[in-house]
Structure 1
Amino acid sequence: MRGRRIVRQAQYRCISGRCQCALFLFVLFAPLAVLHYTGFFASDSENSRESRSSSAGHNAGPRPNTKADIANITRMEEFNTDLLVYNRVPKCGSIWMTRLLYILGAGDRNEYHVESPYEPGEKPFLTGDEEKKVIDHLKEVPKPGVYIRHQYFIDFAEHKQKRPLYINVIRDPVEKFRSFYYFIRNGNLEGDGGDVPMSESKRLMNINDCVSRREKECTEPKWQMVPYFCGQDPRCRQRNSWAVTKAKENIEKYYAAVGLTEELPASLSLFETLMPRFFHGAIDVKKEGEERIKNDTYTLNKAALTPETVDFFKTKTSIALEYDLYNFVKARFETQKSKYQIS
């Protein structure tokens, strides 16, 4: 609009006999008007404000919002940036992350609502009606808000709702399976886990023996990582490349970021850079209480893996497909780190 107004002013001045001066002003200011009209300067100033806000202390003025250029999410108007969904993958540091978000959401920090519901026997895959029930509930929760659950990806747009911002954290697939294998047998220091019914001989079997004896538990390891990103389609629960491809597509389109357990400090820095509304001060909290939380949730009696066991998992089982997804996430993570200068 501003560019067109300048053109009309130039035409008017020509009629008034001062054409030369008007044209000079048009040539001088029209390019600036176009840049302003397209949002170039607005974007720059917004990014500058974001940079200043995210580097400030806890009490330095208003809390920042959400970065406008998250990953490849370019149509931010399609997203509900007041709602963050962490559909946490098991055995990837998700208890630690959940506690972190509760701390960060407290009134003396970022002041947002956090929900982390759990029902005994709940399943991560949902029927269409169950999806709708979750979405209807999330429409009513206070905003800004964070919803945390062991739950496969839900596409809110299929229910004619704005998509929330999604995040997750994953880890090396073999290490994830090792943690899961011993968690269901031995639990952790807090007393969680270790309650899956099984014979005593099976409970005492280490993971290397499980592989060497070709026990089904280890030849067909639990299919977890891929479905959490692939979604609710029944095909996502099948061990195949289609599910991996769909998971990659959803990550690229709908996930602000997916962090790595092996790079937790950098992951938190990325989350804080992209979503300061939810993660402002995350690194400070990590420094204050990381070891206590990590020790409490550490899985007990995890035996080391032999090279033969690692090779078997990587080449002879569906964990090979999980590595395809893991390497994709890792490459995307490195790209985002480079873009935002995170070491």
Structure 2
Amino acid sequence: IPFNSPTAVQMAQEHVDRDYAVLDGLTPRRLNNTAKAEMDRLFFPRCAKVGSEALMEFMQHLQDINHFRIDVNGVDRRTSRTLNAMRQEEMAAYIYNMDEGSVYIEHTNWIDFNAYNLPKPIFINMVRDPVERMISWYYYIRNSYRNAIFYRKNPLAPIKPTAWFKKSFNDCVRSGDQECQYIPLTVKDAVPNFKRQSIFFCGHEPDCLPFNSPLAVQIAKRRVETEFAVVGTWEETNITLAVLEHYIPRYFARATMIYKIYQDSIINRNRNNRKPHVDADVRAMVRRNFTHEYDFYYFCKQRLYMQYIALKRTELERYSHL
């Protein structure tokens, strides 16, 4: 179609009209799942290596201001990829029996409370670039401080060889080491590494286990769309804080103001400042096996942006009527 022809102009106008129609439909009320919660509890089934400890620390600063309490009993439990129905029901019942205005945080997956005849809480979570998560995990488990604590608690555990500690992520990927092979649709992992970000949203069903599975990712997307009040990211700190503050004020009122006071300590929480450089070709090699995981990651960020845009549109409309 020739540029600037009547047909091209008409098509462009149709695209603009459609985009405006989408924006007109963006309202905080339509995009806020907080109202769907059936009890005053906040459940944070936190993903690994997304900065969840930073959010935990930040919430500790907010709890006295907003009159809620964080339950830390789940933080130190042994992590399982999935829970059977009995353990899911036990966790759901535990959260149900907590006091109103309580926050439960644990490395686990989304749970269907209604399946156990229990009211559902407010769900939140965080996401991060999938390859960055893997690089972070790789060097996190090699952290000397972490390993000193581990071997103090487990003195009989076999000690890893020096070569394992010194091996770079670049060399691990290029050499085809099992630890750095991320094979799509695999269920059993040669080395545990939390590569499935989507599983924390998908749930505990067998369909959620295959890595980089399009089905698992579609289920996870549906959970985010219908169950989670906010899924944020530290990659967009200001947007995440604004959305949390306005969509879940019961727990995050004044979040943007309070964050500025404690920003430095929160940013450095569990952060590895000695993480070596990872070459671009290595990142590209790994990224090719995370296609659907990236689809999920971008979906979560798009939803976060939509929630933020809806919020700002409402503010602008309110100011225009003053």
User: TM-score scaled to structure 2, two decimals?
Assistant: 0.77
Describe the SS at the equivalent of 1:256: strand
Distance 1:137 1:337, change over 3 A: same
- Does residue 92 (structure 1) correspond to residue 25 (structure 2)? The answer is no
> Equivalent residue for 1:332?
303
Distance 1:308 1:71, change over 3 A: same
Distance 1:70 1:156, change over 3 A: farther
Letter in 2 for 1:290: Q
2:126 is matched with which residue: 146, 151, 169?
Answer: 169
CA contact (8 A) 1:86 1:166 kept: yes
Distance in 2 of aligned mates of 1:244 and 1:89? 15
- Does residue 115 (structure 1) correspond to residue 71 (structure 2)? The answer is yes
Deviation at 1:85, TM superposition (A): 0.8
CA deviation vs aligned residue, 1:293-313 (integer Å, no higher than 9, x gap): 322421252111111011101
CA contact (8 A) 1:225 1:322 kept: yes
Distance 1:112 1:198, change over 3 A: same
Distance in 2 of aligned mates of 1:151 and 1:113? 20
4+ residue stretches of structure 1 with deviation over 4 A? 187-197
CA contact (8 A) 2:53 2:269 kept: no
Distance in 2 of aligned mates of 1:168 and 1:187? 28
> Equivalent residue for 1:218?
180
Letter in 2 for 1:142: D
Distance 1:248 1:229, change over 3 A: same
Deviation at 1:80, TM superposition (A): 2.1
CA contact (8 A) 1:248 1:328 kept: yes
> Equivalent residue for 2:143?
186
Distance in 2 of aligned mates of 1:265 and 1:194? 39
Larger Rg: 1
CA contact (8 A) 1:185 1:193 kept: no
The structure, 1 or 2, with the larger RCO (C-alpha pairs under 8 Å, 6+ apart) is 2
Letter in 1 for 2:102: G
Distance in 2 of aligned mates of 1:227 and 1:273? 27
Letter in 1 for 2:101: P
- Does residue 280 (structure 1) correspond to residue 253 (structure 2)? The answer is yes
Letter in 1 for 2:31: A
- Does residue 293 (structure 1) correspond to residue 242 (structure 2)? The answer is no
- Does residue 313 (structure 1) correspond to residue 286 (structure 2)? The answer is yes
CA contact (8 A) 1:152 1:230 kept: yes
> Equivalent residue for 2:8?
none
Distance in 1 of aligned mates of 2:278 and 2:208? 29
CA contact (8 A) 1:84 1:166 kept: yes
Which blocks of at least 5 consecutive residues in structure 2 are unaligned?
1-26, 183-192, 316-322
CA contact (8 A) 2:42 2:104 kept: yes
CA contact (8 A) 2:242 2:255 kept: yes
Deviation at 1:227, TM superposition (A): 0.6
- Does residue 255 (structure 1) correspond to residue 228 (structure 2)? The answer is yes
> Equivalent residue for 1:69?
29
User: TM-score scaled to structure 1, two decimals?
Assistant: 0.73
> Equivalent residue for 1:246?
219
> Equivalent residue for 1:208?
170
Distance in 2 of aligned mates of 1:311 and 1:241? 20
* 187-196 or 214-223, larger mean C-alpha shift: 187-196
Identical aligned pairs, as a percentage?
26
Distance in 1 of aligned mates of 2:105 and 2:125? 10
Distance 1:151 1:246, change over 3 A: same
Distance 1:146 1:122, change over 3 A: same
Letter in 2 for 1:89: C
> Equivalent residue for 2:15?
none
Distance 1:241 1:341, change over 3 A: same
Deviation at 1:91, TM superposition (A): 0.9
> Equivalent residue for 1:153?
110
CA deviation vs aligned residue, 1:10-51 (integer Å, no higher than 9, x gap): xxxxxxxxxxxxxxxxxxxxxxxxxxxxxxxxxxxxxxxxxx
CA deviation vs aligned residue, 1:211-253 (integer Å, no higher than 9, x gap): 1101111112643311101001022121111111110010001
Distance in 2 of aligned mates of 1:194 and 1:326? 35
Distance in 2 of aligned mates of 1:201 and 1:154? 40
Distance in 2 of aligned mates of 1:191 and 1:293? 23
Which blocks of at least 5 consecutive residues in structure 1 are unaligned?
1-66
Distance 1:272 1:255, change over 3 A: same
Describe the SS at the equivalent of 1:163: coil
